[in-house]
Amino acid sequence: MSVATAIATDMNGDEIAGEMDQLGRRARAAVQELALASAEQKNTALRVAAATLRDRTADLLAANALDIAAAEERKIAPSLIDRLKLDAGRIDAMAGGLEQIADLPDPVGEVLSTWDRPNGLNISRVRVPLGVIGIIYESRPNVTADAGGLCLKSGNAAILRGGSESFHSSKAILDCLQAGLGKAGLPEGAIQLVPTTDRAAVGEMLTMTDYIDIIVPRGGKSLIERVQRESKIPVIAHLEGLCHTYIDGAADPLMARDIVVNAKMRRPGICGATETLLVDKSIAEQTLPEIIETLSAAGCELRGDEATCALDTRVNPATEADWRTEYLEPILSIRQVDGLDGAIRHIATYSSHHTESIVTDDAARAEKFLNEVDSAIVMHNASTQFADGGEFGMGAEIGISTGRLHARGPVGVEQLTTFKYVVRGAGQVRP
Amino acid sequence: MSVATAIATDMNGDEIAGEMDQLGRRARAAVQELALASAEQKNTALRVAAATLRDRTADLLAANALDIAAAEERKIAPSLIDRLKLDAGRIDAMAGGLEQIADLPDPVGEVLSTWDRPNGLNISRVRVPLGVIGIIYESRPNVTADAGGLCLKSGNAAILRGGSESFHSSKAILDCLQAGLGKAGLPEGAIQLVPTTDRAAVGEMLTMTDYIDIIVPRGGKSLIERVQRESKIPVIAHLEGLCHTYIDGAADPLMARDIVVNAKMRRPGICGATETLLVDKSIAEQTLPEIIETLSAAGCELRGDEATCALDTRVNPATEADWRTEYLEPILSIRQVDGLDGAIRHIATYSSHHTESIVTDDAARAEKFLNEVDSAIVMHNASTQFADGGEFGMGAEIGISTGRLHARGPVGVEQLTTFKYVVRGAGQVRP
C-alpha cells in the first residue's frame, strides 16, 4: 500500500460537504446524551481510553511510522517531524493526560451561584456544556487525545480536524478514545475526526453554524488568522504570546536575573516565553551586564536599543520590528524605559495582551503594574513561563485565549462550558 | 429649520469613515482612564446625568418633538411613534434607571476567586472591563441612557448608534450623559453617539476591530441578523424569544391557568412572553377549556393542533409555521403532547433557547425538565415573563442573550466585563 493513497484526499466537494454534514448530525445527536452523562461514565471513558492507548502502543507506533514516512517523502522540516513523532514515552504521557482529566472535578451541573428573590423565586446559575466544539489543529497528534478528553470531560461533543501530516496517528488515537466511549456506553458521535485531509473540509467546518457552537484553532499564526477570518462560528483563539518582563528600579538584581533567564530560556518556544525585556533606565547599568552575560552564555541572541547596545558588544541593534515580534526562539529584545510609566506605555503599544511580569520590591509599583497592564495574565516577581493551565492548577488546557470574550487566559474544562439559569417557583406570576 | 436637514445624512463615504475613526480613537483613549476610574467617579457621573435629564425635561421634549414630526411626515406606524415618544414620565423613568445603575455594586476589580499554588504563587481572577462596546439599536431613545449607563458602570467606553428616527432625542440624552461625565472628571470619549444616521456608519462600526471589542445589537430580527452576518467583531445578541410553557399531567390546574395567562398576556410584546403552550394530552380536556375561556375573554387569538381545535370553536388550526413564530402579539399556539418527553422534544425542535417553563407538582418531572431543556432560562411553576435582568436582581439589563458564549441570558453590568489573572510571587521560576 502506498503511503499517499492511504489518506482520503480524493473526495470531491460534494462528498466532503456530505461527510461533514454527517459528522455534524452525529455530534448534535450526541450532545444531549453527553450533557446528561454522569461524571462516572465520562471518567470511565477517559480511563479506558488511556489504558487502550498504552495497550496499543505498537499499533500507534506503526500508524505514526506511516505519517513519518510520508513527511520524510515530502521533505518536511526536521522540527516538524519531531512534533509529529510518537514514541512509547509520548504515548504514555498522552494516556497520563487523559487520566489527569478524569481526576478533575466534573464541571457540569456545578451551581455557580444561587439566590432568592423577594417574591420567593429561587434562581441558580448552573454550569452546562457548550455543545459541539470544532477543533482545528496542526501536526502534533497528541492534541487528538488532549482535545478529545477535555471536550468529553466538559460534556461537549468534539469534531477534530488534525493536520494532514498526522492523519494516521490521529486516527489510531481516535480509535482508542472510541474504545473508551464504547465501554462507558457513550455515543460514538461524542468524539469524531474529520475523515479527510482535504483543506476544503476546514472551510466546511467554519460555516457549520447549525452543528458547531464554537471553533478552537490550535496552531501557527496563519492557521489562526485564516480561522478568525473565515469562521461564521464564534472562535476561541490564542493568537500570539508577545510577553514582556519589566525590571523595575526597585527590583532585586539577582531575582531579576533568575526570572528573566527562566522567562526566556526555559523553553523559548512556548507562548508564555518572554520576548522583550524592559528595564528601568536608572538601574540598567547595574543590572543588565550580568543578565546579558548569563543569557549570552546560555546561547541567547540579544537585540537592544542604543543604550543597551552600548553596554555590551554582544547586543546587536533592535529595530521597530523587534518590539513587534514573537520570536519563539532563543532571541531577546531589550529596551530601557523611563520607569514604570514607560514600561506600561511600551506594553500597551506592543503587547499581544497574553502575559506580562514586573520584577520589583516596591509593592505600590507592583500593584500599579498589575492594575494598569491590560493582559490576560499579569505577574509580580514570577516568570512568565508560568502562564499555563497546568501551572495555574486548572488541569489540562486546550490553549491560552488572547481574546477578551468568554474565555481569557488558559482554556481548561471550565472554560469549555457555559451556564443556564434555573428558576424555581411556587406559582409566581409577574405583576 | 426643516426637520430633514437637521439630521446629518449628507456625509459621503470617506467623511463617514473619518468620523467613525475619530470616534474609535476617542473611545480607545478613554478606555484606560475608565478602567481605573473609582466607583465614586462613575456613580457621580450617573447621578449628575440623571439630575440633568430631569432638569432638561423641556429641552428633551423639544428635541423629541422634532423626531416625532419627522416620523409623522414619513408616515411611520403609530406603534413605532409610540416607542419613539418621550414624556415627562418616561424621562423621569430614564433618570431613575441611571440612579439604579449607580446603586449597583461596582463590578470592576471584584476578585472572582483566589487560590495558592504549592510553589507559593498566589493567583486571583479579577473582573475588568471588556473595553469598547458598540451598541446598535432602533427607535427607543431611552436605550441611549440605559446602554450608556450600563457601559459606564462596568468601566467600558460606549459607541452608540441609535435609530435615525430618534436622532435628536438621543443627542439630547447624550448631552445629559456628557454633563455627568464632565462633572465627574471622566473623558468625553466614554460615551459617544455616532453623529450620522447614514446606514453606512453601521457597516463601518461592524469592521472597526481595532477600536471596538464587542457589538451589542438591540432591535428587531432583521437588524440582529444583519449585524451577526456582517460583523467582524464578536456579537452578543438577543435573536428571538420563542418561549414555551408546558402544563404537565401533574400540574395544579388553577396555577397552570394563572401562569399561562400571565406568561402570554401580561405584556405580549416582550421577549419572555410565552408563544406556544404545550399541554400533556392526558389532562388537556380538564385544563384547556378554562384557559381558552380566560385567554379569549382577554382578547388573545388562539391557534391549536387538531385535538385542541376540537375543544373550542374559538381555536383556529395552527400550521407548522405557528410553532416557529415569535408572535410578540396576543396570539398563542397550543399543542397537546405526549407527556414530559413529548414536551422536551417539541422544545428541542422549535425553541429559540430563551426561556421555557414547566407547571407541575411532580418534583422529579420538574427536575428532568430543568435538566434536559437546553435554554438560557428554565423555570418551574413560574411565568416566563420573569425572564428579565431586573426580576433576576441583576439591576438593569442591556438585553437577554440567546447565544451560548460569554453572556447567556440577561446581560447586566457583570456580563459586560471580562477578567484577568493576577499572579503574585516572590521570585518563582518554572522548573
pLDDT score of B8: 52
**In the prediction, which pLDDT does A6 show?**
40
Tell me, yes or no, if A311 comes closer than 8 A to chain B by beta carbon: no
Q: In the predicted model, what is the mean pLDDT of residues B355-378?
A: 97
Predicted confidence (pLDDT) per residue in A270-307, tens digit: 899 999 999 999 999 999 999 999 999 999 999 999 99
Per CB-CB distance under 8 Å, the chain B contacts of A213 are 404-405
What is the overall mean pLDDT for chain B? Answer: 93
Percent of chain A with pLDDT over 70: 98
Q: Which residues of chain A neighbour B421 with C-beta distances below 8 Å?
A: 376-378, 392, 409
Look at residue B4 and tell me whether its pLDDT is greater than 50.
Answer: no
CATH of B12-238+412-420, one of 3.40.50.880, 3.40.605.10, 2.90.10.10, 3.30.565.10: 3.40.605.10
Å from B311 to nearest chain A CA?
26
| Closest CB to A36 among B372, B420, B430 | B372
Report CB contact under 8 Å: A36, B422: no
CB contact under 8 A, B408 and A429: no
Overall average pLDDT of the B414-423 stretch: 96
Pairwise CB contact (< 8 Å): A258 & B429: yes
The pLDDT, as a whole number, for residue B10 is 65
Residue B9 forms contact with A (CB below 8 Å): no
The 10s digit of each residue's pLDDT in B187-225 is 999 999 998 888 889 999 999 999 999 999 988 888 888
Assign A199 a pLDDT band (cuts: 50, 70, 90): confident
Encode pLDDT of A91-130 as tens digits. Answer: 999 999 999 999 999 999 999 999 999 999 999 999 999 9
- Residue A408: pLDDT over 60: yes
Distance from CA of A74 to the nearest CA of B (A): 37
Tens digit of pLDDT for each residue in A167-176?
999 999 999 9
> In this structure, what C-alpha cell is assigned to residue A345?
506605555
Mean pLDDT within B101-120: 96
Kind and range of the H or E run holding A227 = helix A221-230
Choose among A36, A379, A403: nearest Cβ to B425. Answer: A379
Tell me which chain A residues have a C-beta less than 8 angstroms from the C-beta of B154.
none
The whole-angstrom distance between residue A150's C-alpha and the CA centroid of its chain comes to 12
CB contact under 8 A, A36 and B252: no
Q: In sequence order, what are the residues at sequence separation of 6 or more whose Cβ sits closer than 8 angstroms to the Cβ of residue B216? A: B133, B134, B135, B136, B147, B235, B236, B237, B398, B399, B411
Task: Report ipTM for this prediction.
Answer: 0.91
**Minimum-distance CB partner of A425 among B234, B381, B392:** B381
Partner residue opposite B36 with nearest CB, options A130, A371, A377: A371
In the stretch 89-108 of chain A, residues with CB closer than 8 A to chain B read: none
Query: Quick one: average pLDDT of A163-170?
Result: 92
Measured between CB atoms, does B270 come within 8 Å of chain A? no
Tens digit of each residue's pLDDT (9 = 90 or more) over B332-364: 999 999 999 999 999 999 999 999 999 999 999
CA B146/CA B101 separation, integer angstroms: 9
Q: Could B406 and A403 be called an inter-chain contact, meaning their C-beta atoms sit closer than 8 Å?
A: no
Does A345 touch chain B if contact means CB atoms closer than 8 Å?
no
CB-nearest partner of B406 from A375, A385, A405:
A405
Q: Do B381 and A255 touch (CB under 8 A)?
A: no
Give the Cα separation of A305 and B89 in Å (integer).
63
Least CB-CB distance to B424: which of A214, A234, A380? A380
| Contact assessment for residue A129 and residue B372, using Cβ atoms and an 8 Å cutoff | no
Torsional sign, CA A210, A216, A222, A228:
positive
Closest B-chain CA to A236: B405
| Domain regions of chain B by residue span | 12-238+412-420, 243-391
The nearest alpha carbon in chain B to A403 belongs to B213
Q: Do B405 and A406 touch (CB under 8 A)?
A: yes
From chain B, pick out residues whose CB is under 8 angstroms from the CB of A211.
none
Nearest-CB residue to B121 (from A115, A376, A382): A382
B121 touching A (Cβ < 8 Å): yes
Looking at the complex, does the CB of residue A289 fall below 8 Å from at least one CB of chain B? no
Q: Is the pLDDT of residue B6 over 90?
A: no
CB interface of B with A, residues 17-56, below 8 Å: 32, 35-36
Residue A7 pLDDT: 47
Question: Which A-chain residues 60-89 have CB contacts (< 8 A) with chain B?
Answer: none
Give B 203-242 residues with CB within 8 A of chain A.
213-214, 234
d(CA B385, CA A135): 38
Q: Looking at the predicted structure, is the pLDDT value of residue B228 above 90? A: no
Contact B255/A at CB under 8 A: yes
Taking the domain A243-386, which CATH number applies?
3.40.309.10
Q: Chain B, 124-163: which have a CB under 8 Å from a chain A CB?
A: 128, 130-131
pLDDT at A59 over 80: yes
Q: CA of A396: how far to CAs of A73, A325, B358, in Å?
A: 34, 28, 38
Contact B155, B108 (CB under 8 A): yes
pLDDT at residue A80 greater than cutoff 90: no
Q: Is the pLDDT of residue B144 over 70?
A: yes
Supply the pLDDT for residue A329: 93
Tell me what the mean pLDDT of segment A215-222 comes to: 88
Distance from CA of B113 to the nearest CA of A (A): 12
Residue in chain B nearest A388 by alpha carbon = B430
Distance CA B169, CA B67 (A): 7
Do the first three CATH levels of B12-238+412-420 and B243-391 match, i.e. the same topology?
Answer: no
Superfamily name with CATH number, domain A15-230: Aldehyde Dehydrogenase; Chain A, domain 1 (3.40.605.10)
Task: For residue A375, give how far its alpha carbon lies from the nearest alpha carbon of chain B (Å).
Answer: 7
* Residue of A259, A420, A426 lying closest to B408 (CB–CB): A420
CB pairs under 8 A between A and B: 179
Instruction: Encode chain B in three state secondary structure.
Output: CCHHHHCCCCCCHHHHHHHHHHHHHHHHHHHHHHHHCCHHHHHHHHHHHHHHHHHCHHHHHHHHHHHHHHHHHCCCCHHHHHHHCCCHHHHHHHHHHHHHHHHCCCCCCCEEEEEECCCCCEEEEEEEECCEEEEEECCCCHHHHHHHHHHHHCCCEEEEECCHHHHHHHHHHHHHHHHHHHHCCCCHHHEEECCCCCCHHHHHHCCCCCCCCEEEEECCHHHHHHHHHHCCCCECCCCCCCEEEEECCCCCHHHHHHHHHHHHHCCCCCCCCEEEEEEEHHHHHHHHHHHHHHHHHCCCEEEECHHHHCCCCCEEECCHHHHCCCCCCCEEEEEEECHHHHHHHHHHHHCCCCEEEEECCCHHHHHHHHHHCCCCEEEEEECHHHCCCCCCCCCCCCCEECCCCCCCEECCCHHHEEEEEEEEEEEECCC
- Report CA torsion sign: A256, A258, A263, A269: positive
Q: Does A113 touch chain B (CB under 8 A)?
A: no
Provide the pLDDT for residue B385.
97
In this complex, the residue of B258, B357, B427 whose CB is nearest that of residue A259 is B427
Whether residue B427 and residue A266 make contact (CB cut-off 8 A), yes or no, is no
Write the CATH number of the domain with boundaries B243-391.
Answer: 3.40.309.10
Judge whether A419 is closer than 8 Å to chain B, CB to CB. yes
B34, pLDDT greater than 80: yes
Residue A105 carries which DSSP code?
P
Distance from CA of B138 to the nearest CA of A (A): 25
Contact B123 A393 (CB under 8 A): yes
User: Cβ of A383 under 8 Å from any chain B Cβ?
Assistant: yes
pTM: 0.91
In chain A, the residue whose alpha carbon lies closest to the alpha carbon of B213 is: A404
Q: How far is B374 from chain A (nearest CA, A)?
A: 8
Which pLDDT does position A333 carry in this prediction?
98
